[in-house]
Amino acid sequence: MSETVAARTAFDLIPKATGPQAAKDFKSDQEVRWCPGCGDYAILAAMQGFLPELGLARENICFVSGIGCSSRFPYYLNTYGMHSIHGRAPAIATGLAASRPDLSVWVVTGDGDALSIGGNHLIHALRRNVNLKILLFNNRIYGLTKGQYSPTSEVGKLTKSTPMGSVDYPFNPLSLAIGAEASFVARTIDSDRKHLTSVLRAAAEHEGSAFVEIYQNCNIFNDGAFDVLKDPESRDEALIRLEHGSPITLGKDGQWAVVRTGWGLGVAETASVDPADIVVHDETVEDASYAFALSRLPGLDLRNTPIGVLRNVKRPTYDSIVREQLETAATSAPKEEELARLLNSGDTWTIL
Amino acid sequence: MSETVAARTAFDLIPKATGPQAAKDFKSDQEVRWCPGCGDYAILAAMQGFLPELGLARENICFVSGIGCSSRFPYYLNTYGMHSIHGRAPAIATGLAASRPDLSVWVVTGDGDALSIGGNHLIHALRRNVNLKILLFNNRIYGLTKGQYSPTSEVGKLTKSTPMGSVDYPFNPLSLAIGAEASFVARTIDSDRKHLTSVLRAAAEHEGSAFVEIYQNCNIFNDGAFDVLKDPESRDEALIRLEHGSPITLGKDGQWAVVRTGWGLGVAETASVDPADIVVHDETVEDASYAFALSRLPGLDLRNTPIGVLRNVKRPTYDSIVREQLETAATSAPKEEELARLLNSGDTWTIL
Amino acid sequence: MSDVSSPEAKPIRQLDHVVIRFAGDSGDGMQLTGDRFTSETAQLGNDLSTLPNFPAEIRAPAGTLPGVSSFQLHFADHDILTPGDAPDVLVAMNPAALKANVGDLPGGATVIVNVDEFNKRAMAKVGYATSPFEDDSLSGFTVHQVPLTSMTVESLAEYEVPKRDAVRAKNMFALGLISWLYSRPVESTIAFIERKFAARPEIATANVAAIKAGWAYGETTEGFAVRYEVKPATLPAGNYRNITGNTALAYGIVAAGVRSELPVFLGAYPITPASDILHELSRHKKFGVTTFQAEDEIAAVGAAIGASYGGALGVTSTSGPGVALKSEAISLAVALELPLVVVDVQRAGPSTGLPTKTEQADLNIALFGRHGEAPVAVVAASSPSDCFHAALEACRIAVQYRTPVILLSDGYLANGSEPWKLPEIDELPDLRVAFADGPNHTLDNGEEVFWPYKRDPQTLARPWAVPGTAGLEHRIGGLEKRDGTGDISYDPANHDLMVRTRAARIEAIEVPDLEVEDPTGDARVLALGWGSTYGPIGAACRKLRAAGQSIAQAHLRHLSPMPANLGKVLASYDKVIVPEMNLGQLSTVLRARFLVDVIGYQQVRGLPFTSTELESVFEEVVKNV
Amino acid sequence: MSDVSSPEAKPIRQLDHVVIRFAGDSGDGMQLTGDRFTSETAQLGNDLSTLPNFPAEIRAPAGTLPGVSSFQLHFADHDILTPGDAPDVLVAMNPAALKANVGDLPGGATVIVNVDEFNKRAMAKVGYATSPFEDDSLSGFTVHQVPLTSMTVESLAEYEVPKRDAVRAKNMFALGLISWLYSRPVESTIAFIERKFAARPEIATANVAAIKAGWAYGETTEGFAVRYEVKPATLPAGNYRNITGNTALAYGIVAAGVRSELPVFLGAYPITPASDILHELSRHKKFGVTTFQAEDEIAAVGAAIGASYGGALGVTSTSGPGVALKSEAISLAVALELPLVVVDVQRAGPSTGLPTKTEQADLNIALFGRHGEAPVAVVAASSPSDCFHAALEACRIAVQYRTPVILLSDGYLANGSEPWKLPEIDELPDLRVAFADGPNHTLDNGEEVFWPYKRDPQTLARPWAVPGTAGLEHRIGGLEKRDGTGDISYDPANHDLMVRTRAARIEAIEVPDLEVEDPTGDARVLALGWGSTYGPIGAACRKLRAAGQSIAQAHLRHLSPMPANLGKVLASYDKVIVPEMNLGQLSTVLRARFLVDVIGYQQVRGLPFTSTELESVFEEVVKNV
Ligand SMILES: Cc1ncc(C[n+]2csc(CCOP(=O)(O)OP(=O)(O)O)c2C)c(N)n1
Ligand SMILES: Cc1ncc(C[n+]2csc(CCOP(=O)(O)OP(=O)(O)O)c2C)c(N)n1
Ligand code: SF4
Ligand code: SF4
Ligand SMILES: [Mg+2]
Ligand SMILES: [Mg+2]
């Protein structure tokens, strides 16, 4: 929209830490209370390990969450934090981020919190491109309420509320986010700390809304939901690791490759295709059709699941334009004087 | 999901009209109260003209709307109708459609009603594929509340609530619907009655959620928003008329054609491309990437706007599976007996 | 009306007050006409009060009853309180306008009709089988049949304006005529027109010419034999402007931002009749006011909470349906103990109800409309200009006590207007509060720590510790928390303590005592109200007193907490009568709290009370005491 | 406890009632243990009442205080009303369980601890610096240190079960021991285990062996010198089962579907403690019950309204935060005048509050939580099994009067259980209503038409005209409508009429008179309650009476409308005491309505009242009357 915006990086306006930071600086004094074995622990550890790397003043980082197991996250980080109400974190964070450019604002949410009750706030935050980093812990189940199916659960899922199998066709969170004009869309997985950290880094650096889906195991109510992506036996065949600028392949020794098929993308045997036909990943493609096509690769069985950054394009952020408008409107006159002028505007008269 | 579902058509379960019907049979006794010149009149006329063609018993048709100028629609149709509350029509209609397979249920909504306050219900109805026909009258403005910008208004729009221009990047309603797993997605325009009718027909015939965006002129608060698509001077160059099975071209004598470009679709001079490269429209392509790419064709200036059915694929409907489960569970025993059995289930004991 | 003849060409009669109603089709520009006449009247120094009334439709079909739009103005040579019970003069631009309004006219009223529009078709459309001028349906009134349309078109013949624009200028002709009739200067309106149509000078010229032609018509026609004059009112000295409730409320919020030195953040979703607050505030970015048009009411209040958390004055404005949707989030703000102002411009319910009509039936939801024990402060405005002060007061409570405050206005206040004596900025309350900036608690081991829920012993408010403050990092949320530390706590005794503390926090808010107006000092009946009934109750009391009866009046600005002396006030009258535009919501609260058998009087018609109606109700009570 | 020795190998003492609490880690299976012991006890014919208590976390870290889960059971040889104020016996599976619960024990209580878990680390984790067995912190109790874990593992040595599974069976060992101690038969539990683990027979075998080993341990160890017996209660003859409030409520809705011959449609979004209603109802598709897990609470109620409109019995179940979100849609249902049942299983608030704890602080939002005047019926359940009847009653009012009904339960009722005498199906109320099927009005011109808002003169209900009925096509909505025709109407007088009619509709609902229990007939004090306080209030009254005092008890099922005789009842006592788990919400309503100075007594601790507490409160009132 303007020079100023383009020139800014995600951190320009945020105060920096004055000294070195370590993971332990980001641990709060609250006892962590997820079930033993829950994937949330790994994500927390990765976050605590990653935050020092950001180098921001700790007090200028704020985590806002909704309700759910995942939404307990802010309690365990020694930053500012708000554990709000179910589904509303993106809205609350929008108010915070839009009025405080000096903060790094993160939203932590679950598949129920973000996609069920909070779906509307999520898609609106994404289209607005508010400067928020939204982490959706997708365990494909409602954990906190003890195991009902969620909007990402597979059709036919047997849960307490669906004894004959769930009926609703699931969302593909990345497709939804891309359809909602998201400027940054990525996916990662609780079990791969290095990858998780790399995606957090990319999200943090993105100026605007960053949407990150994190596959997270709920070992109590949906254990093994992502095993096909974790199991050393199957994962190489199932996971597609996206790297900006590299041809997209998967499988042992890149046995499979992503190529155009039909009107979208598909997977073919590398040996059988012209190397020039292998898609070279470019997260900056403006046309959202590319990232969308990538998001459609996985089947319902999770085979061919891309992880990494699918889309990362520049678009003016909501908060930066709002700030610009405020700056444009600002005057140097004392506010008191301006107020007197305002009240006296229009037709006035004097009674003596 | 099953034989039964596949065999059904959209009307199988709905009683048919016993005699011939005419447009006037669908006019209610209420005075129509839109502003003179409003695009809603044309849509109403088209609907009243179209409904007799459906041949359904009038009493088995029901229109549910939210709040907005557009949502007054049900009052003017002599069918059953509910003018509900802002944004909630898809949810209310879901309850109705899921419990009444013998009804043809239509949702009428506006860009504010459907995409702002009602965004979540809309995307959930679409992913569930509830048997609803959802007509979104998009005038890119809030009409009823007198002219604030809406989620489809272009950036920088000057309205009462945005004296320095709106900041929010708009939704592309079709992209959003496709991202939300819609099985039927179409677009049409108030001024072209024939096209409008053809799209209504296709929507009515689709079994499941049909999402139809109708460009509608609000001559009071956003006059001329779609002039580029209506003006005889510009419309041929701007409108892309999709026809299933035909190559996609536009412009005078098909001067322009839709071809692959980059990772999506684009428009090129027909003369300059190999005819075999011209995309032949197929609304039934399973991979949503195709319809999504089509939805991205228009620029923010509305040039290259496809109208017609972008996507039309078969997927089991929510309500049909729900019905199947009910049928599977049903017993022939009298309900009273079953109830006695239920109450007496578990550990019981007798006190004499 | 008092009559005083004057010896001019056309005699001028002195009146002490006039109620005039302009009525026409939605497209006839009646609101603008009314606004301009109001402004002229204000300039003259009359006291005044206005009541616009528009249809729910944007543009209902022309010439229909539902399409009628009207604007009523009451002006007087003395201080008045309401827009008038019934018009002395009706200006009716078409048959629909006559039909829709004639029923409100008292005998002897003057009716000025645009006779050009009374053709067969137009009359039939609204059910006039015969012309109302030909039967005796208007026999009790002084009727002036003025060919407004044709005379306007004629008077513009010399200008090159398209017919359509000429026809549209007929409201200005009418304004010119009425201005002449009531001796109002039209200069300011002419200036206004020239400003407004600066980009289209031909339209400006035509409208100005129409005004002048209307004025000239008054001077020359024989139809109008007398002119009237209403002398300036003797209002307190000062600078005045005319102001609507919504504008005043928005200004109050701007002022609160200035006086608290906090950025204002408004999260809002458009809804009638609150949208204008969003519109107005979006124009004041120079004050650091951010307006966020949210995707829905929940996001609107959510964003306001987020902004408050970040150190802004978080405000959200809506009407009843929006308040219902915000309930859960307001409850969160109760738990978070953060400042939040929720503006509810009430309209007639339930559900969508009558969106353009007024009502005061949201007191219940304001006081009781949240799950759990979730007390908030509730403040109500009593007149259009009072919306400014009520908004300041709501903001004062919110920031000082770190609590959600619901500010009740209504459709009548929102769109109605009255002269407002402009306050001196430095006399406005000082709303500055300090953010927390360091530890506030010493542990037993001597360590200095920050406790986010350690309270100020007097206000019971917790510290406002905004992100970005080093050393104060903490987590808050909607789960129950230990008093002091703010840590999540499932301890039963702590929960009981917190529930009671949240209630005590609201009761601890300092609010001024209720003032009672009882000029004779011997009243045995108290008329008690809240909100927009202030005008009609006051006017009724005045009438009663003028008729020699005694009655006391008091009006509640604070509904939660209530003034400390309220119980005593109630106990000191034999009877307390409480008029409300609902089914007795305040009555219920008073009865429960003070066990006083207050007499409720209710009408729920989407319209303000008339003072006449209340006068007779009060008289009945006074007589029977 | 009464002691009666018996002459067996181990003497058996007769007790008239016992309160036992099982407590352990979330993973220790305490809820299952409690359930099974309850079932055995029920089979024996004791009266009983249970109170489970689980942590808010799914699995809080093992061995911590927040991770303790417990189950309390009160059983007796006579009719009882509560799960007991304080446990006579505590079974503590680890140090955390002991620490978390020991404070609730009265002097002389028995404590059975799994001593195997009392190692240094585990004790330190919960703050036991020294072993509680070594200091005198347990000196007032009879402590049995039982090595539950190791004995269980030992007893399973001969089976091929992995160590982990053997350790997990320790709850069954404990159950066997306690069953022996209180002379409960374990056969039904053994059968249950075999059914439950049919697919994993080795686990079944291990668990059964553990039960038997526990029983054998009791018989052989010298630690337990006496056994106890509690004779069957003399309850009314009939078939009984034990039932929780949520199950009973779900059954009540199924029954309402059967008795109204309407399909049931439940729209729900999961929320503690209401989710089990959704779970239960989703299992009863054979009754034509459709359950729709919606995207949020608004969609849930919206879908229920849509289904009701289509002729189903529309129900939505939730807890407080969900009710807040549903407010706007409930208001729509008020305007539409359609049947709707909104189940609110109350939990401790405000905001997220204490989701697993009980409270009754949603009476306000039920009665007053909508914008505009939007009255609904409100019904409350008073005990777990009463949830069945309350649900039927709510459905009766909804379908018969075409109105939203809010049905209040709470966390205590939801999860607590008691024996339930099964009703005869054909004695359940007949809930059938007729849909409209033709014109209901004759116009002046003789034409027969259908008027969707023409009312039944007695119930004031409008016709239920469902889509699909030829000739009855009509449009309804949230805008104000003309009484009779249902057409949109902006007429002030009609709005006033409709507002009053909607209020009158609720008041016109026929509800039974309030019954008062006053065995001595001379009580001057009335204890009046609503909802889940029935048990403790009743138990306290009994105690007081047993001590020779007179007190009357009455309990409100209907909060809106209230029973017609309520005012008279209140007036006939010198003092009325109203205990509530809120800050006095019913008290406020009673005071406002009847101007009676009721005495409120409130505790808001997330826990039910104890009868002892209420007894002393009542005693105080009775003494001072
Ligand atoms: C308004 C409201 N509705 C419902 C709930 C109950 N609730 C809490 S968390 C949750 C869903 C949790 O699922 P998800 O977001 O996937 O988080 P997870 O626990 O799986 O991490 C629900 C339904 C609530 N707290 N508030
Ligand atoms: C809960 C609630 N919030 C806000 C409103 C006010 N409102 C009514 S219609 C509308 C938006 C209308 O815009 P749109 O859906 O685009 O319909 P249009 O009038 O343009 O056809 C709004 C904000 C309302 N009626 N209810
Ligand atoms: S229930 Fe699942 S998601 Fe929640 S804490 Fe336990 S393992 Fe994690
Ligand atoms: S405001 Fe616009 S959308 Fe509404 S009726 Fe008028 S022209 Fe149509
Ligand atoms: Mg989840
Ligand atoms: Mg619109």
**Candidates D331, D473, D479, partner chain B, best to mutate (most B CBs within 10 A):** D473
Q: Which chains touch A (3 or more CB pairs under 8 A)?
A: B, C, D
Using 70 as the pLDDT threshold, list the residues of chain B that sit under it: 1-8
> Which residues from B are below 8 Å from A151, CB to CB?
124, 127
Nearest residue of chain D to residue B118 (CA atoms): D299
Structure confidence at residue B8 (pLDDT): 58
Separation between Cα atoms, residue D281 and residue D279, nearest integer Å: 6
Task: Establish if A149 touches chain B: CB-CB under 8 angstroms.
Answer: no
Length of chain C measured in residues: 625
Q: Which of D54, D57, D59 to mutate to test the pocket of ligand 3 (most atoms within 8 A of CB)?
A: D59
Per DSSP, the residues of D219-234 read: HH-SS---EEEEPPP-
- Helix or strand (DSSP H, E) at C154: helix C148-155
Separation between Cα atoms, residue D422 and residue B351, nearest integer Å: 11
Ligand 2 centre to CA of C379 (Å) is 27
- Helix or strand (DSSP H, E) at A321: helix A318-329
Separation between Cα atoms, residue B308 and residue B287, nearest integer Å: 18
**CA-closest residue to ligand 4 atom 6:** B35
Could you count the other beta carbons within 10 Å of the beta carbon of residue B29?
A: 9
Instruction: Please answer whether residues A41 and A32 qualify as being in contact, where contact means their C-beta atoms are separated by less than 8 angstroms.
Output: yes
Question: Shortest CB distance from C306 goes to which of A96, A325, A340?
Answer: A96
Question: Shortest CB distance from D350 goes to which of C357, C365, C372?
Answer: C372
Question: Shortest CB distance from A148 goes to which of D57, D61, D270?
Answer: D270
Structure confidence at residue A14 (pLDDT): 95
A240-291 per-position pLDDT tens digit: 999 999 999 999 999 999 999 888 999 999 999 999 999 999 999 999 999 9
**Candidates A127, A289, A320, A328, partner chain B, best to mutate (most B CBs within 10 A):** A289
Mean pLDDT in chain A?
95
Ligand that comes closest to the CA of residue B34: 4
Ligand 4 centre to CA of B218 (Å) is 5
Q: Which chains touch B (3 or more CB pairs under 8 A)?
A: A, C, D
Separation between Cα atoms, residue A109 and residue A128, nearest integer Å: 18
Ligand 6 centre to CA of B138 (Å) is 5
Q: Which atom of ligand 4 is nearest to the CA of B68?
A: 4
D469-504 per-position pLDDT tens digit: 999 999 999 999 999 999 999 999 999 999 999 999
Nearest residue of chain B to residue D189 (CA atoms): B347
C415-427 per-position pLDDT tens digit: 999 999 999 999 9
Residue C617 backbone zone (phi > 0: left; psi -120 to 50: alpha; other: beta): alpha
Whether residue A40 has its Cβ less than 6 Å from ligand 3: yes
Rounded to the nearest angstrom, the minimum Cα separation between C373 and chain B is 28
Q: Which residue has 């309990």 as its token pair?
A: D555
> Which residues from A are below 8 Å from B288, CB to CB?
175, 264, 292, 296
Q: Does the structure's ipTM exceed the value 0.85?
A: yes
Ligand that comes closest to the CA of residue B65: 2
Could you count the other beta carbons within 10 Å of the beta carbon of residue A333?
A: 12
- Residue D313's nearest CA partner among C425, B95, C531 is B95
Task: Give yes or no for residue D170 having a pLDDT over 50.
Answer: yes
Sheet holding D289-293, edge to edge: D289-293, D264-268, D313-318, D340-346, D404-410, D377-380, D558-560
Question: Shortest CB distance from B95 goes to which of D306, D469, D472?
Answer: D306
D392-415 per-position pLDDT tens digit: 999 999 999 999 999 999 999 999
A150-199 per-position pLDDT tens digit: 999 999 999 999 999 999 999 999 999 999 999 999 999 999 999 999 99
**pLDDT higher at C42 or D525:** D525
- Tell whether omega for the bond before C232 is within 30 degrees of 0, i.e. cis: no
Separation between Cα atoms, residue A79 and residue C307, nearest integer Å: 17
Whether residue C59 has its Cβ less than 6 Å from ligand 4: yes
Mean pLDDT across D613-622:
97
Could you count the other beta carbons within 10 Å of the beta carbon of residue C443?
A: 10
Task: Give yes or no for residue D103 having a pLDDT over 70.
Answer: yes
> Which residues from A are below 8 Å from B325, CB to CB?
164-165, 167
Structure confidence at residue B3 (pLDDT): 38
> Which residues from C are below 8 Å from B148, CB to CB?
270, 275, 278, 293
Are C306 and A94 a contacting pair at CB < 8 A? yes
Structure confidence at residue C58 (pLDDT): 74
Structure confidence at residue A336 (pLDDT): 96
Structure confidence at residue D519 (pLDDT): 96
Domains of chain B, CATH where assigned: 3-225+317-343 (3.40.50.970), 241-306 (no CATH)
Are D335 and C352 a contacting pair at CB < 8 A? yes
Structure confidence at residue B6 (pLDDT): 41
Ligand that comes closest to the CA of residue A32: 3
Q: Which atom of ligand 4 is nearest to the CA of B139?
A: 3
Question: Shortest CB distance from A92 goes to which of C305, C328, C469?
Answer: C305
Question: Shortest CB distance from D61 goes to which of A33, A142, A148?
Answer: A33
Rounded to the nearest angstrom, the minimum Cα separation between C326 and chain B is 13
What is the Cα A293 distance to its own chain's centre?
19
Domains of chain D, CATH where assigned: 12-230 (3.40.920.10), 241-427 (3.40.50.970), 516-623 (3.40.50.920)
Task: Give yes or no for residue C173 having a pLDDT over 80.
Answer: yes
- Token duo for residue D332: 């729509």
Task: Give yes or no for residue C2 having a pLDDT over 50.
Answer: no
> Which residues from C are below 8 Å from A317, CB to CB?
none
Task: Give yes or no for residue C170 having a pLDDT over 90.
Answer: yes
Mean pLDDT in chain C?
94
Task: Give yes or no for residue D1 having a pLDDT over 70.
Answer: no
Structure confidence at residue A8 (pLDDT): 58
Nearest residue of chain A to residue B127 (CA atoms): A169
Structure confidence at residue B347 (pLDDT): 84
What are the pocket residues of ligand 2 if the criterion is a CB atom closer than 6 Å to any ligand atom? B 67-70, 86, 110-113, 137, 139, 141-145, 150; C 269-271, 297, 321-322, 325, 352
Are B262 and A129 a contacting pair at CB < 8 A? no
Whether residue B240 has its Cβ less than 6 Å from ligand 4: no
- Name the DSSP letter for residue C286: G
Ligand that comes closest to the CA of residue C477: 1
- Residue D542's nearest CA partner among D561, D558, D527 is D527
Q: Give the residue numbers in A contacting D (CB under 8 Å), as ranges.
A: 31-36, 67, 69, 83, 85-87, 116-117, 119, 142-146, 148-149, 151, 160-164, 166, 168, 220
Could you count the other beta carbons within 10 Å of the beta carbon of residue D222?
A: 6
D499-512 per-position pLDDT tens digit: 999 999 999 999 99
- Token duo for residue D527: 């204890």
**Candidates A16, A71, A84, partner chain C, best to mutate (most C CBs within 10 A):** A84
- Residue D182's nearest CA partner among D75, D69, D33 is D75
Whole-structure pTM value = 0.96
> Which residues from D are below 8 Å from B85, CB to CB?
328-329, 332, 478
Instruction: Please answer whether residues A281 and A248 qualify as being in contact, where contact means their C-beta atoms are separated by less than 8 angstroms.
Output: yes
Rounded to the nearest angstrom, the minimum Cα separation between A49 and chain C is 18
Task: Give yes or no for residue A314 having a pLDDT over 90.
Answer: yes
Ligand 3 centre to CA of A248 (Å) is 33
Mean pLDDT in chain D?
94
